[in-house]
Structure 1
Amino acid sequence: MTSIGTGYDLSVATYSPDGRVFQIEYASKAVDNSGTSIGLRVKDGVVLAVEKLIQSKLLVSGANKRIQSADLHVGIVSSGLVADGRHLVNRAREEAQSWRDIYRQPIPGKTIAERLGQYVSAYTLYSSVRPFGINAIVGAMTDGVPSLHMIEPSGLFWGYHGCAAGKGKSVAKTEIEKLKLDEMTVREAVNEITRIIYTCHDDAKDKDFELELSWICAESQFKHQFVPKDIKDEAERLAKASLDDEMEE
Structure 2
Amino acid sequence: MTSIGTGYDLANSIFSPDGRNFQVEYAVKAVENGGTSIGIRCKEGVVLAVEKIITSKLLKPNANKRIATVDRHLGIVYSGMIPDGRHFVDRARDEARAWRDTFKSPIGTADLASRMGGYMQAYTLYQSVRPFGITAIVGGYDPSVDLPVDGEVGRGPSCGAGGKIPGKNFGGPGLYMIEPSGLYWGYYGAATGKGRQAAKAELEKLDLAGPGGESLTLEQAVKEAARIIYVAHDDNKDKDFELEMTWISGPEGPTKGLHQEVPRALREEAERLAKKALESDDEEEEGKDDKMEE
After TM superposition, the score normalised by the length of structure 2 is: 0.83
Residue 234 of structure 2 is matched in structure 1 by: 202
Which runs of at least 4 in structure 1 moved beyond 3 Å after TM superposition?
A: 203-206
Picking from 227, 243, 248, the partner of 1:216 is 248
- Structure 2 regions of 5+ residues with no counterpart? 145-171, 285-294
TM-fit CA distance, 1:246: 1.0
Equivalent runs, 1:1-249 vs 2, <5 Å: 2-144=2-144, 145-181=172-208, 182-183=213-214, 184-202=216-234, 205-217=237-249, 218-249=253-284
Inter-partner Cα distance in structure 1 for 2:45 and 2:35 = 24
Inter-partner Cα distance in structure 2 for 1:4 and 1:124 = 18
Inter-partner Cα distance in structure 2 for 1:204 and 1:227 = 24
Inter-partner Cα distance in structure 1 for 2:237 and 2:8 = 33
TM-fit CA distance, 1:100: 0.5
Inter-partner Cα distance in structure 2 for 1:195 and 1:80 = 21
Question: What is the percentage of aligned positions where both structures have the same residue?
Answer: 61
Preserved contact between residue 37 and residue 191 of structure 2 (Cα < 8 Å): yes
Preserved contact between residue 92 and residue 116 of structure 1 (Cα < 8 Å): yes
TM-fit CA distance, 1:104: 1.0
TM-fit CA distance, 1:247: 1.1
Report the 3-state secondary structure (helix = DSSP H, G, I; strand = E; otherwise coil) of the residue aligned with 1:219. coil
The one-character-per-residue Cα deviations of 1:190-249 (angstroms, maximum 9, x if unpaired) are: 000100000011366541000000000120111000000000000000000101111111
The one-character-per-residue Cα deviations of 1:34-57 (angstroms, maximum 9, x if unpaired) are: 100000000110000000000000
- Structure 1 regions of 5+ residues with no counterpart? none
Q: Residue type matched to 1:231 in 2?
A: L
Q: Residue type matched to 2:43 in 1?
A: K
Report the 3-state secondary structure (helix = DSSP H, G, I; strand = E; otherwise coil) of the residue aligned with 1:201. helix
Report the number of matched residues. Answer: 249
Report the 3-state secondary structure (helix = DSSP H, G, I; strand = E; otherwise coil) of the residue aligned with 1:48. strand
Inter-partner Cα distance in structure 2 for 1:164 and 1:204 = 16
After TM superposition, the score normalised by the length of structure 1 is: 0.98
- Pair 1:156–1:166, CA change in 2 (3 A): same
